[in-house]
Amino acid sequence: MKYRRLGKSGVKVSEIALGSWLTYGTVTEKEQAIACVKQAYDLGINHFDCANVYGSVPHAAEEVLGEALAPYPRESYILTTKAFWPVGDGVNDRGLSRKHIVSEVEKSLRALGVDYVDIFYCHRYDPETDLEETLRAIDDLITQGKILYAGFSEWPAHKIAEGVRLQKELGLHKFVASQPVYNMFNRYIESAVIPLCDEAGIGQVVFSPLAQGVLTGKYKRGQQAPAGSRAATDQVKKFVERYLTDENLARVERLEGVAKELGITLPQLALAWVLRLPSISSALIGASRPEQIVENVKAVDVELDESVLEKIEEILKS
Ligand code: NDP
């Protein structure tokens, strides 16, 4: 495994991180989830992502991840959670108010079975809460030692800029992590989010680097999704379907040719492509089986030269 600094913070995270959305506490059996986390840890992954809403009910994925990580020394891994999305029907069961953030962090700590999380993310921007209220609540949680670092996920660029400016003005702890989607099919962060975050010392922990499995080559044009895959699982298939267009599947066929010429697999190519940017701190994968993690981590040893990157650009533009 290789490690990078999380933005300009001093903490180092593995280039490949493991998340639990749509898998642990949802469709993956607990034993299998624990086997995946063990495999990841044994391969040097030290960065594990979760959220209060992951799992079949709120905090379900956190319970599984907490149990899976329990055997390992707490200081040896970076554990994250998030809040924003609704966890109930109450008017305060959502958003980024001080009330909701504090009560959700408490519940997350209990579900994970830990005294602190390393990174707390604001899962989306909340237009119904004054930004200063959110930033002060996070700052207090950091001061109390319940969270060590903070970040945001998929905030619009101008709101990231406003948050960074306010934290500076008010002398609050600064954001160190941004968690947006980034893969060969979705590159929106390249234009505004990355330059802004680079300047502010915020690292990118990018989710769905394999486009939810489409960039592994297992989905083929005109064929049914393989049994057991996300696209063949009723509970979760709607999320991956957005990537399963004929155009993307045609690109995947050509990208597989590039991977083959390099003697690597398509997921390794897709992850090495994400990691080509120094602004990326971790590529945040999901895995339903330990073998997927074994295959994917090999991407950290793949260097893509200019001619390969140009070939990929040409395919992505086609
Ligand atoms: P990926 O793009 O890495 O897709 C992961 C899925 O692809 C796996 O669950 C598996 O699905 C399949 N897969 C992975 N490796 C292989 C392989 N080598 N061969 C075949 N299939 C493979 O990421 P996700 O979209 O799952 O997101 C990763 C993490 O990012 C989440 O767990 C979560 O922590 C975070 N996230 C954050 C969001 C946010 O709003 N902040 C939103 C979405 C995700 P299967 O075997 O079931 O087909």
Model confidence over 247-271: pLDDT tens digits?
999 999 999 999 999 999 999 999 9
Which residues does ligand 1 sit against, CB inside 6 Å? Answer: 19-23, 49, 153-154, 179, 207-213, 216, 218, 229-230, 267, 284-288, 292, 295-296
Number of the ligand 1 atom closest to the C-alpha atom of 207: 30
Query: Best substitution site from 284, 294, 298 to test ligand 1's pocket, by max atoms within 8 Å of Cβ?
Result: 284
pLDDT at 173: 98
Q: How far is the CA of 209 from the centre of ligand 1 (A)?
A: 8
Give the per-residue pLDDT at 130: 98
Predicted complex: ipTM over 0.90: yes
**Minimal-distance CA residue to ligand 1 atom 39:** 153
Mean pLDDT by 10 residues, the chain (318 residues): 97 98 92 97 98 97 98 98 98 98 98 98 98 98 98 98 98 98 98 98 98 98 94 94 95 98 98 98 98 98 98 96
Sign of the Cα pseudo-torsion (100, 119, 106, 40, in order) = positive
Domain ranges of the chain: 3-211+265-302
- For ligand 1, atom 27, name the residue with the nearest CA: 208
Shortest-distance Cα residue to atom 37 of ligand 1? 207
State the distance from the centre of ligand 1 to the C-alpha of 19, rounded, in angstroms.
7
Q: Nearest Cα to 33, choosing from 316, 318, 289, 211? A: 289
pLDDT at 181: 98
Distance 284 CA to ligand 1 centre (A): 8
Q: Name the residue at shortest CA distance from atom 44 of ligand 1.
A: 207
pLDDT for 85 equals 98
Tell me, in angstroms, the distance from the centre of ligand 1 to residue 232's CA: 14
Tell me the fold of 3-211+265-302: TIM Barrel (3.20.20)
The whole-angstrom separation of Cα 288 and Cα 65 is 13
